[in-house]
Each structure stands twice: as C-alpha cells, then as structure tokens.
Amino acid sequence: MKLMKESLYEIKKSKFYAYSYEVDSIDDINHILEVLKKEHKKAKHIVYAYKIDGIEKKYDDGEPSGTAGLPLYNIINKKNLNHIIIIVVRYFGGIKLGAGGLLRAYNTAGSDVTK
C-alpha cells in the first residue's frame, strides 16, 4: 500500500481531509482505515470507496445515502482507476451543507487526490 496523494478542502467551517492510496488487498484497506481512525479520533465521518479488480465498495459512514461514498466511487469508475481507495475524513464545522453541498464537497475532495 502506498499513499498517492492527500489534500484538505474546507467549506462553511467543515474540513474534508482526502487521501488516495494504492492498494492490493482488503488487508491493506483495513490497515489504512485503522490508522486513519486512530489519527482522526474526533472526526465526524470517515467515508471511502475502493476498487481492487472486481471488488468494489462505497461507504457513507452516517452521511445521507448517496452524498459521500457514491461520489468517490463515481470518480474511481469515471477515471478507470483500479487498486485504489479514496478516503475522505470530515470534521463537521457546525453548519449543515445539505445533500447537494455534501455531494459537491466529497466530489471536490475526492477529485483533488486523483489528479
């Protein structure tokens, strides 16, 4: 597993820390998520999507359905990426973004780490 890129996107006091990793197995993914959960203990949401050959998953971690994991998953498919996980760690800033705002924020954060 290898960190490819990381970035920070901020909107309305919410912070979105995005990461992309090159991965070869579910064990790699579980290890990365474990490390990030320890590193970001106070984060409100840790959202991700991955693809390793035919194995794909998207996870919203409590965000409204389709507003978080799906945009990351769509980035992976649109760019024909493989052996990748995109993770976005969100710290809630106190201002609700709404479904459209969340969708745009996760899409922007995920796109930043796959350029």
pLDDT in tens, 19-31: 999 999 999 999 9
pLDDT value at residue 1: 84
What is the third-level CATH fold of 2-112? Ribosomal Protein S5; domain 2 (3.30.230)
Q: Which of 69, 87, 74 is nearest to 16 (CA)?
A: 87
Q: What is the pLDDT of residues 28-62, one digit of tens each?
A: 999 999 999 999 999 999 999 999 999 999 999 99
Q: What is the pTM of this model?
A: 0.96
Grade residue 64 by pLDDT with cuts at 50, 70 and 90. Answer: very high
Instruction: Say whether 97 sits in a helix, a strand or coil.
Output: coil
Grade residue 11 by pLDDT with cuts at 50, 70 and 90. Answer: very high
So where are the chain's domains? 2-112
CB 63 within 8 A of CB 47: yes
Strand-strand pairing, 84-91 and 14-22: antiparallel
CA distance to 12, 35, 50, 51, 113, per residue, from 55 (Å): 35, 22, 8, 6, 21
For 16: left if phi > 0, alpha if psi spans -120 to 50, otherwise beta; the answer is beta
CA 92 – CA 84 distance, rounded (Å)? 26
